[in-house]
Structure 1
Amino acid sequence: MTVPQPRLRRVLVLPLGTAMATALAFLPNVTASAAEPAAAPASASVATDATALSYVVNVRPGHGVPKHVRKAIADAGGTIVTSYDEIGVIVVHSSNAAFAPTLRGVPGVESAGNTRNAPLPAQSTTDEGAPVALDATQIADATAEATDGQDPLEPLQWDLPAIKADKAHEKSLGSPDVTVAVIDTGVDDTHPDIAPNFDRAASVNCVTGKPDTTDGAWRPTAAESPHGTHVAGEIAGARNGVGITGVAPGVKVAGIKVATTAGYFYTEAVVCGFMWAAGHHVDVTNNSYYTDPWYFNCKNDPDQRALVDAITKATRYAEHKGVVNVAAAGNESYDLAADTITDPVSPNDGTPSDRVIDPRTCYDIPTQLPGVVTVAATGAKGLKSSFSNYGLGVIDIAAPGGDSTAYQKPEPPATSGLILGPLPGGRWGYMAGTSMATPHVAGVAALIKSTHPHASAALVKALLYAEADATPCTDPYDINGDGKVDAVCEGTKNRNGFYGWGTADALDAVTK
């Protein structure tokens, strides 16, 4: 089987001075698979393929793994990696090609499905693209522009005043009692912009689906993506006279690593990430990815249904524990409220094919799950970024994610329409995408939690939406100036498909 190169989720890396062309996040679409085969008896002989895959088995929560289910897993050639008894999700490895359909026939099993198409571990170790790093001259020029009280690179951060974060910082930097967990590719906690605010106790490696608390296991290796480090700095880059400033520079940030070396975010790792956050005093999670290998997971496909079930259980449990889950809307300019969407790249770890899906029954997870805050991206002029997904009733809120179109250039002294953030190894660079919009909202949610420390997750979300600046539809939306409408916004000034309830407002977060 030929395994396509993985695509980093929800981030665009855009060379300065060029048209936006490269999307490092492609959203795979899911066509419904053939009808589920009849389940084999649990005692049937095990027919295996050449490689082991990972599975999730969903059962009733709160009762552990029932003995008869444990036996059925073993009889079907499965090995339990871990189980999350609070939500009834079991992570299993098996080389039995019939494992999932076999388990679906076991009493008490709600759903079961394989989480990937590639063998364990993923075969590719190639990450695509690279951020546009600042050079010494750019750093010196920005430092010369910095005013008293600003970090040296803050003059390049047009995104902070776009959500009034600069004004918010005059009132509050946020509370160190609040932690935002970055569920992502890993966080370099040694970076000078991140180290002062890093929460080691809330950090972990969840790549296998089972928490690895080895010191530093949450860090990316040199061969892995800088994505999580960039996101972490956007949220909580310290106000310390070094580099950039985060949206909430006084709160804590944790790293929950869920991406494989090849850059895949598989279900068992994502479930682990949410469950870890729920149990370690995390207040907000940032999710700038989609769960591989399907862009959209259709519930009429038994494997995909199991993935939706497992992550839904995990996000709901985390919110029940007080966690606000914030997720990126995606970078394909899809109308997520349309009747159909064509997805040409799913599964992205197998053999993709064009699928026509109904986004009302096929979900980008965790983005489209109940209770999750879905974030669209805007550029330096406050308009929907050219790449950002949208959709009335799907998008909850908008925030700066950058854009390289000629129209959305920032005012000086900022020089790039992309988002500046830290990179591993003590560097800084530009990135763009709904990946970059999401941490702005996570940062504002952290400021709200700082202002209202006893607020429930539901109340923090309600305040996030109520305090957002109403942003009317852009009509007509011709973002590249070629005379053609690039997207159609539906809705009212107070809630629409481009900006949801509006643009995030950090100043209101610390004053209301």
Structure 2
Amino acid sequence: MRRSILGSAVTLSIVAATLVATQSASSADSTLAATATTRDYVVLYEPGTAETDARAAITAAGGTVVSSNAEVGYALVRSAAAGFAAAADAAPALVGAARNRSIGKAPAEVRSDAAAVERLTDVERSAAPAAGTGAAEKKKGGTGDPLSPLQWDMAAIGATPAGSYADEPGSKKVTVGIIDTGVDGSHPDIAPNFDAEASRNFTTDMPDIDGACEVASCVDPADVDDDGHGTHVASTIGAPLNGIGIAGVAPGVELVNIRAGQDSGYFFLQPTLDALTYAGDAGVDVVNMSFYVDPWLYNCSANPADSPAEQQEQRIVVEATQRALDYARSKGVLPVSASGNEATDLGAPGVDASSPDYPVDAKGNPTAARQRTIDNSTCLNVPAESGGVVTVNSTGPSGRKAYYSNYGTEQSDVSAPGGDAYDTANGRLDPKGEVLAAYPAHLAIANGDVDAAGNPTSAMVVKDCDGDVCGYYQYLQGTSMAAPHAAGVAALIVSRYGKKDPAHPGTLTLPAALTEQILLGTATDVACPVPAQFTYRRVPAKGAAVTTTATCAGPADDNGFYGQGVVNALSAVS
């Protein structure tokens, strides 16, 4: 999941005036200037409330509608009234208001830990053994793209030239939406399958967290990724078989950037809701969601450690996200989500000491975070525990549950390769145990992973060229990397079994429930380890070995570590 599944904290009271709305959204007063006391809210309508009645109630409460989504029933509202949220909560036409806060980011100390999972620490990266280069791998020959020998993840699920590629490589009539930080549409291992016309960016760069805007409007083009996370995800799903670099799970499908994440990796509630709505309206078949919702790591409906206003806010986050997911599924979209990188049993999460992560101090640390005992029956990690979502745990190259992956008997639907750098015989780090996927060239240079001559300076980065066209690839690990493997298999299922979509001529569609049924039903069963309490051993570059444990429960065909099994591309289309 973004480090997220997968930057500094931000004062979220002011959202930039330039907003990108869904095709179905209407806008009013979009040029209203925000003041120091102005806040933006996501206001949820009561079910069945007419748009005109909801707007009237918002106005009466002291708010101004910036944009609205009548299909799902919410509006982005700006207000300087101190009592706006309470007034909106009391209005019969409205469920209430939640401040428009970041999604996909945990507090500073948690972000640091999560970033260390996906990208590893600087010490780990510097001590990593060389992972090989494109030139070296090409000498090995074989089938597939040049870096296929480094893709243990594809071999693990049968996504190979001798496997699913031969039966079903994926159809251009099937589209996968990447709800993430963006997609580098110019990357040579994405460009052939990238649908620029259908791609959208629902975010506006915010200089206080994203740095200086790259374009005058602060709205990046829909083929840009200044974080790298979304590009990695996209290529895992659908990098083409084109003689350079890697191949994805579904190398023949269309990829669409449905950006809801900031350059810095932050996500916001309203862009994410809009992205899900757009996916449904645009005829997208599968969306990948490698993020989780905050300021609350767990959104609780009635936690006694929270104020009534905070409880209401969390209820709105849960309900608004669920409505958007339901809308997308009703249009044939299957949502696929990462389970998270906290190594937590989501069925018994224990204590959360990280929430809320806003407001923050000058150093970006949360000022209101406190310990909360989490009740599994009334608290949800969103969207991983939202209804209608396929939740994916991560496995390493040996097939074990990755050391960092969340798990749980109620929450785990399936598992997929997400990488585990310590899944080695001696517990020492090996980057080849992570997942290799596309890396935007401009980021590789900016991050110092490529030198002035264009050559990798890090063992975590691989370069491959086809003539004078070169691409860069980086090793990452996380449930953010596992989810796109499942999303890719889902895309293969729609490619194989889908029917003509009358709402979107020239494309295929399949009911989301059927796609999910086949995805879960064809996964390879994996039993819990024996003993069920599994011990992980990691040997860092410096210091003593680190051991942690996780306990698996359930039968081979449905347990807390693997859900209903590890996704299988070949079985899904055979």
TM > 0.5 between the two? yes
2:90–2:96 Cα contact (<8 Å) kept? no
- Residue 36 of structure 1 corresponds to none
1:358 aligned onto 2:375 = yes
Contact 1:84/1:90 (<8 A) preserved: yes
Separation in 2, partners of 1:443, 1:93: 39
Report the AA paired with residue 424 of structure 2.
Answer: Y
What corresponds to 1:8 in structure 2? 3
1:494 is aligned to 557
2:283 to 281, 284, 299: 281
Check the 8 A contact 2:397/2:423 in 1, yes or no.
no
Percentage of matched positions with identical amino acids: 40
2:192 corresponds to = 196
**What secondary structure sits across from 1:472 in the alignment?**
coil
Decide whether aligned partners of structure 1 residues 408 and 311 sit closer, same or farther in structure 2, where only a CA change above 3 A counts: farther
Alignment-derived partner of residue 169 in structure 1: 165
Which amino acid in 2 is paired with 1:419? Answer: V
In the TM superposition, what is the alpha-carbon distance from 1:406 to its structure 2 partner? 4.5
CA distance in 2 between counterparts of 1:393 and 1:216 reads 39
Q: Does 1:152 align with 2:152?
A: no
- 1:78 aligns with 63
The Cα offsets for residues 268-294 of structure 1, whole Å up to 9 and x where unpaired, read as: 111011001001010000000012322
What whole-Å deviation, never above 9, does each CA across 1:328-350 have from its counterpart, x for those lacking one? 00000110111x42222222343
Shift of residue 356 of structure 1? 1.7
Aligned to 2:295: 293
Counterpart code for 2:178 = V
Partner of 1:18: none
User: CA–CA distance in 2 between the matches of 1:143 and 1:52?
Assistant: 57
The aligned amino acid for 1:276 is: Y
> Separation in 2 of the partners of 1:144 and 1:173?
25
Post-superposition Cα deviations, 1:443-482, rounded to whole Å, max 9, x if no partner, equal 0000011111133110110011110000101233112177
Per-residue CA deviation, residues 72-118 of structure 1 (Å, 9 max, x unaligned), is 42344422121111121112122333221110111121232223289
Structure 1 residues 78 and 219: CA distance shift in structure 2, 3 A: farther
Q: Secondary structure at the match of 1:188?
A: coil
Whether 1:472 aligns to 2:482 is no
How far apart, CA to CA, are the structure 2 residues paired with 1:406 and 1:280?
40
- Read off the aligned partner of 1:347 and give its amino acid letter: P
Q: Is the 8 A contact 2:40 2:77 kept in 1?
A: yes
| Aligned equivalent of 2:211 | none
- CA distance in 2 between partners of 1:282 and 1:151 (Å): 27
Distance of aligned partners of 1:191 and 1:205 in 2 relative to their CA distance in 1, 3 Å threshold: same
- 1:403 maps to a residue whose letter is D
8 Å CA contact retained: 1:9, 1:25: no
SS at match of 2:91: coil
| 1:246 to 1:232, Cα distance in 2 relative to 1, 3 A | same
Size of the alignment, in residue pairs? 456
What amino acid does structure 2 have at the position aligned with 1:440? Answer: H
* Deviation of the 1:144 alpha carbon: 1.9
Q: When the two structures are superposed, what TM-score results if normalisation uses the length of structure 1?
A: 0.82
Indicate how the Cα distance of structure 1 residues 330 and 415 shifts in structure 2: closer, same or farther if over 3 A, else same: closer
CA pair 503-81 structure 1, distance change in 2 beyond 3 A? same
**Is the 8 Å Cα contact of residues 396 and 423 (structure 2) preserved in structure 1?**
no
CA distance in 2, matches of 1:321, 1:106: 30
Q: Which runs of structure 1 show a deviation greater than 4 angstroms over 4 or more consecutive aligned residues? A: 61-64, 126-137, 213-216, 481-485
Q: What is the root-mean-square deviation of aligned Cα atoms in Å?
A: 3.1
The question of whether the paired residues in 1 share the 8 Å contact of 2:204 and 2:219 is answered with no
Q: Secondary structure at the match of 1:170?
A: helix
1:448 aligns with 2:493: yes
Match in the other structure for 1:138: 133
450-459 vs 378-387, which deviates more?
Answer: 450-459
Q: Please tell me whether the aligned partners of residues 60 and 87 of structure 1 are also in contact (alpha carbons under 8 angstroms).
A: no
Q: Distance in 2 between matches of 1:97 and 1:184?
A: 33
Could you list the per-position Cα deviations for residues 58-85 of structure 1 after superposition, in whole angstroms to 9, with x for gaps in the alignment? 1145654233x32342344422121111
Report if aligned partners of 2:346, 2:411 keep a CA contact under 8 Å in 1: yes
Larger mean CA deviation between 187-196 and 468-477 belongs to 468-477
Give the distance between the partners of 2:167 and 2:8, measured in 1 at CA.
36
For structure 1, list consecutive stretches of 5 or more residues without a partner in the other structure. 1-6, 12-23, 27-47, 119-125
Match of residue 367, structure 1, among 381, 384, 401: 384
Question: Matches of 1:214 and 1:200 in 2, distance apart?
Answer: 19
| Alignment partners' CA distance in 2, 1:244 and 1:348 | 38
User: Which structure 2 residue ranges, 5 or more long, are not aligned?
Assistant: 10-33, 104-110, 120-124, 206-216, 303-310, 360-365, 442-470, 500-509, 539-544
SS of match in other structure, 2:278? helix
**Residues 415 and 386 (structure 1 numbering): CA distance in 2 closer, same or farther, change over 3 Å?**
closer
Does residue 109 (structure 1) correspond to residue 94 (structure 2)? The answer is: yes
1:335 alignment counterpart: 345
The 3-state SS of whatever aligns with 2:557 is: coil
Offset, 1:136: 11
**Amino acid in structure 2 at the alignment position of 1:457:** A
- Tell me, what secondary structure is at the counterpart of 1:388? coil
Q: Which amino acid aligns with 2:432?
A: S
